Structures are given as structure tokens and as C-alpha cells.
Amino acid sequence: MRAVVQRVTSARVLLQEQAGREVGRIERGLMVLLGVGKEDGPADARWLAEKIVNLRVFADSDGKMNLSLLDIGGEVLAVSQFTLYGDCRRGRRPGFEQAALPAEAETLYQLFVGELQKYVPVACGVFQTDMLVEINNDGPVTVLLDSQKLF
């Protein structure tokens, strides 16, 4: 699994097809764009959720990035994004051969969200839907995580 994790002061997701109806909103926390690959399984979802809730990217009283979502009582906005598996090495259009098929990806996305919900409040986008994502990136702080690149 691949995740783009952004520290935010707020974020929300709206459905394009429904005149911008808001389906998820958070205040201080992390915006997580999540891609699921063909090789991913339940262990990847659990590892990534645990990693994200414990990621120390929030400032302590000395201004050092030393606090996690758990420490600050933060929230997560999780949005699926298969394009994180876009391969742009050849041609001009990304290939998505390494992205999981939608049914498998949705199952693992839901498992990931469920794991996060054990620790913090989570808002979500709608799987396999065109969305507008608005964020107020704080810092900016952006971290890339990949469960297949552990070593």
C-alpha cells in the first residue's frame, strides 16, 4: 500500500457528481491518500494504519516534530487513490497495472479505515468516485509511505 500523508489544519472531501456534496471533513490531523497495489494484503493495511497514527509529525512545545495523532487528539481524512500506482516511466499516459482491482482494493481500503478507527476519528471519501479534496496543508508537511518498501 502507498500513502501520501499530509499534516493539515483542516480538510474535506466533496462529491463532484452530486454538486459538491460534502461527505467527509476533519479539523487538525492527517489527510491520507491511499493506493492499494496488487501485492498488498491485510497485513499491509494494519501496518500502515499503525504507522500513520503513531507518526510523529506534529510540533511539541519546543517546536520539534515529536507528537503523533494520538498525542494531539487528531483526526484522519482517508481517500482512496489508485493513481498512486501510476507508472509513468514509458510514454505519456500512466499505466496502472500494479494497482489492485477495485473489489480487492475496496476491501483493503475498508480494513485500513477500520484499523485507523480503533485509535482516532476517521472521515472518508467515497470509493471509486470522482471527488474534490480540499486541504489546508500545515507546514507543509508531506510524508510518503509504502508498505512494500520496509527494508
Provide the annotated active-site residues.
81-83
For the record, the C-alpha cell of 17 comes out as 457528481
Residue type, 138: D
d(CA 34, CA 5): 9
End-to-end CA distance of the chain: 15
> Nearest 5°: CA angle at 103, between 37 and 83?
40
Q: What is the DSSP letter of 115?
A: H
